């Protein structure tokens, strides 16, 4: 079965669902499932439609033109993805290995339907991990005086490999505005706190100082504002006054792995729409 996913968003008005369904039906597409959401405060509509293309009465180009025409008429943006096309992913890491191991294991097990093109790091420590999974590993040492030059090299390599999604798996560097702009909406970071609490560095230490009873992890899209991009996925676990910082770190790492993997999977499955620095995440 050749499945396609259509994602649309735009001003909410009567007849949107019917208009989109009619376009697909008119071209012979068999709709498998559809999910939609309306934000009454923003007056905005969102929909995700999955359909089988095997019995299309026209070619895919004609279908795209028809979707574009109705979307333009209704003032909507749209994106059409095919299940046969695997996205190419780059994983950025520093010295922490838990998220990298987890992503590569899940990829090997077939849980993440993508091609991991390369692992990028500012240190050489995790080269053996990437080697275990047969993934190319590249080191770009980042220093204040060389940051711009090294990021240019990274961008060239990402372009060479056709990378569409960058995953920051505990990459302990702040990306430049230029790199973020080139991968707008396609960089996922894992932050080791339940944002918006404890933005920035040493969140487990700050959580211990505040005596919190829950700690969390947050996966979000990266923007130029540190740790303030649209949130994709979060989770929490309980803690107490007995927990040391090391114990909070241990508990947190379990969350970081799970939350990041969920966020990456949601992105790969085209389940996310972004608006007003928020996300609509379809089940």
| Contact criterion met (CB below 8 Å) for 130 and 86 | no
The number of CA neighbours under 13 Å toward the Cβ of 244 is 2
Taking each helix axis from N to C end, the angle separating 245-268 and 98-108, rounded to the nearest 10 degrees, works out to 40
- Is residue 227 among the annotated active site residues? yes
Residue 215: phi, psi to the nearest 5?
A: -120, 160
**Chain centroid to CA 263:** 5
**What is the distance between the alpha carbons of residues 236 and 180, in angstroms, rounded to a whole number?**
28
Strands (DSSP E) contained in 141-207 are 165-168, 187-191
- Count CB-CB contacts under 10 A for residue 264: 28
**Interatomic CA distance for residues 181 and 190, integer angstroms:** 19
Which residues, including other chains, have CB under 8 Å from residue 96's CB and lie 6 or more apart?
169, 170, 172
* Cβ count within 10 A of residue 148: 10
Q: Which residue has the tokens 């920035």?
A: 200
Which residue's structure tokens are 């071209």? Answer: 27
CA–CA gap between residue 179 and residue 17 (Å, rounded): 37
Of 227, 243, 246, 270, which is the active-site residue?
Answer: 227
Q: Catalytic amino acids?
A: 227
């Amino acid at each position: 079965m050749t499945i396609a996913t259509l994602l649309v968003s735009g001003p909410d008005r009567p007849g949107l669902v019917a208009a989109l369904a009619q376009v697909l039906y008119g071209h012979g597409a068999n709709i498998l499932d559809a999910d939609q959401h309306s934000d009454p405060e923003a007056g905005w509509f969102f929909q995700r439609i999955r359909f089988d293309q095997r019995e299309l009465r026209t070619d895919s180009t004609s279908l795209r033109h028809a979707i574009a025409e109705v979307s333009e008429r209704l003032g909507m943006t749209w994106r059409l993805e095919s299940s046969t096309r695997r996205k190419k992913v780059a994983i950025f890491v520093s010295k922490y290995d838990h998220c990298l191991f987890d992503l590569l294991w899940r990829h090997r097990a077939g849980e993440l339907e993508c091609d991991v093109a390369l692992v990028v790091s500012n240190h050489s420590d995790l080269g053996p991990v990437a080697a275990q999974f047969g993934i190319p590993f590249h080191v770009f040492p980042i220093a204040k005086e060389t940051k711009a030059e090294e990021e240019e090299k990274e961008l060239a390599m990402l372009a060479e490999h056709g990378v569409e999604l960058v995953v920051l798996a505990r990459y302990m560097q702040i990306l430049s505005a230029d790199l973020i702009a080139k991968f707008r909406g396609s960089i996922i970071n894992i932050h080791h706190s339940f944002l918006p609490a404890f933005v920035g560095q040493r969140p487990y230490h700050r959580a211990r100082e505040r005596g919190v009873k829950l700690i969390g992890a947050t996966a979000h899209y990266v923007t130029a504002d540190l740790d303030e991009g649209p949130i994709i996925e979060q989770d929490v676990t309980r803690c107490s006054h007995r927990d040391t910082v090391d114990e909070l770190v241990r508990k947190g790492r379990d969350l970081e792995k799970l939350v990041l993997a969920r966020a990456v999977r949601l992105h790969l499955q085209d389940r996310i729409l972004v608006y007003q620095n928020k996300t609509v995440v379809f089940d």
